[in-house]
Structure formats: C-alpha cells, structure tokens
C-alpha cells in the first residue's frame, strides 16, 4: 500500500458568492407563532439578516425575493448591507395569501443570471417556505428549480413547520441534493439553519475530505 496525503483545504474567503434569499410571505408566516411567541416571519427575517452578516460584502452579493400569490424582487443583487437589510425589513408589509414557490424560484433564477450577477461569483439560492404550494402544485416549483440548477445555481431549501404542512418530497427535489434540504420544525430553528448554510456555501461538505 502506498501512503496518500491529502492537502484539500477550503478557504471561505476565497469563495465569492451571489445569493438570492427567497422568503415565503404568506399569511401563515405572519399569523403563526414560534415557541418563543413571535411570528415565523420575524424569526425568518432575523435569521436571514444574520446570514447576510456572514457575507463578505461587497465582494459577495445578496438579493431579496418574497413570494405568496406572486413573487416580488425587493432588492436586486447588491453588496450594500443597508440596502439588503432594508429590503428584508419590508417583508411584513407585503404578506398575502397563497404560496407560489414556483414564482419565487423563477424570480430568483432571473436575478441570478441577470446583469447584476458577478461572473466570478458562485450562484446560490436559499428558499424558505412554511406551507404547501398553492394554487400551483409543487411539481411546478420542482421544474422551475431544475431550470435554475441547469444554470449552475446551487439551491438550498428550508421547510418550516410540520411535515404534514410541507411538500417535503418536492422540497428535497428542488434542492441541489437531498442534503441541501433543511427541516425547521419551529421558527426558532431557522437561525442555526441559516448559519449552517452560510458555512456550507463556500465549503461544501462533499467537496473537502475534512468535512466528510
């Protein structure tokens, strides 16, 4: 047997990213509470804001997209922290019924391949939802996610709530791999999940022996 020495090492500061934060703004996000007594949307905004704090702005960029009966680009890809956080703060005023996950993914895909994307940056999408896709079936969102993945976009999905309230199978299919899907039983779990994704983006576990 010959000895083998591995020198694989991930340097997060060398991995630049453009991230689209896609956040469910349906009525259940506003009306349902976490175990701490706050809205699920408040917990999601805090977690997303913390995530933005991990980015190396302005080299990294982030965009903010919400979805309910349709999708809305609140902030295009930007390296300005104040603009990104201001967009996150607008979400509670935009709550509507329905859960068009497909439209959120479609809007994020459009932004990540658009003129604001930095060619050297890795494209990433983080999609958070707390409910079943409606009125469009989840299969449509799976197709939209595949189109995005065909554009070399890495997709993380987060399902917030009970399995019975989520399209768990389809959320796994939307994600780049099943391991890119995260389940948050409670809104208070979101902070740790977004932190985990922040680590996973520049240093994917499958790409470095030290993370296996």
Q: Report the distance separating Cα 176 and Cα 152, nearest Å.
A: 10
Q: How would you label 142-172 residue by residue, b for 16+ Cβ within 10 Å and e otherwise?
A: bebbeebbeeebbbbbbbbbeeeebbbebbb
Averaged pLDDT score across all residues of the chain: 92
User: Could you count the other beta carbons within 10 Å of the beta carbon of residue 75?
Assistant: 20
- Closest among 158, 48, 145 to 92, alpha carbons compared: 48
- For residue 98, the model assigns a pLDDT of 98
Question: Alpha helices of the chain — where are they, by DSSP H?
Answer: 27-31, 40-54, 81-90, 101-112, 138-149, 168-174, 190-200
Give the mean model confidence (pLDDT) for residues 159-167.
96
Is residue 179's pLDDT more than 70? yes
- For residue 212, the model assigns a pLDDT of 32
- For residue 205, the model assigns a pLDDT of 59
Q: What is the pTM of this model?
A: 0.91
Give the mean model confidence (pLDDT) for residues 129-134.
97
Give the mean model confidence (pLDDT) for residues 154-175.
97
Return the axis-axis angle of helices 101-112 and 138-149, rounded to nearest 10°.
Answer: 10
Burial of 132 (0-12, 13-18, 19+ CB in 10 A): middle
- For residue 207, the model assigns a pLDDT of 46
Taken in order 113, 118, 124, 128, the sign of the CA dihedral is negative
Is residue 2's pLDDT more than 90? no
- For residue 15, the model assigns a pLDDT of 81
Is residue 64's pLDDT more than 90? yes
In contact, 41 and 28? CB cutoff 8 Å: no
Is residue 3's pLDDT more than 70? no
- Closest among 50, 29, 49 to 40, alpha carbons compared: 29
């Amino acid at each position: 047997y010959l000895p083998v020495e591995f020198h694989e090492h991930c340097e997060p500061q060398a991995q630049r990213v453009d991230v689209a934060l896609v956040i469910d703004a349906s009525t259940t996000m506003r009306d349902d509470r976490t175990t701490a007594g706050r809205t699920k949307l408040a917990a999601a905004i805090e977690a997303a804001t913390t995530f933005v704090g991990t980015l190396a702005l302005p080299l990294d960029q982030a965009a903010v997209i919400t979805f309910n009966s349709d999708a809305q680009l609140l902030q295009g890809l930007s390296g300005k922290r104040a603009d990104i956080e201001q967009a996150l703060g607008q979400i509670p005023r935009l709550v509507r019924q329905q859960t068009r996950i497909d439209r959120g993914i479609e809007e994020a895909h459009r932004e990540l391949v658009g003129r604001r994307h930095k060619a050297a940056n890795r494209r990433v999408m983080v999609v958070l939802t707390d409910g079943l896709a409606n009125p469009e079936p989840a299969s449509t969102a799976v197709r939209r996610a595949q189109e995005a993945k065909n554009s070399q976009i890495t997709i993380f999905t987060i399902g917030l709530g009970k399995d019975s309230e989520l399209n768990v199978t389809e959320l796994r299919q939307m994600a780049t791999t099943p391991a890119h899907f995260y389940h948050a039983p409670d809104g208070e779990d979101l902070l740790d999940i977004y932190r985990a994704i922040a680590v996973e983006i520049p240093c994917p576990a499958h790409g470095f022996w030290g993370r296996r």
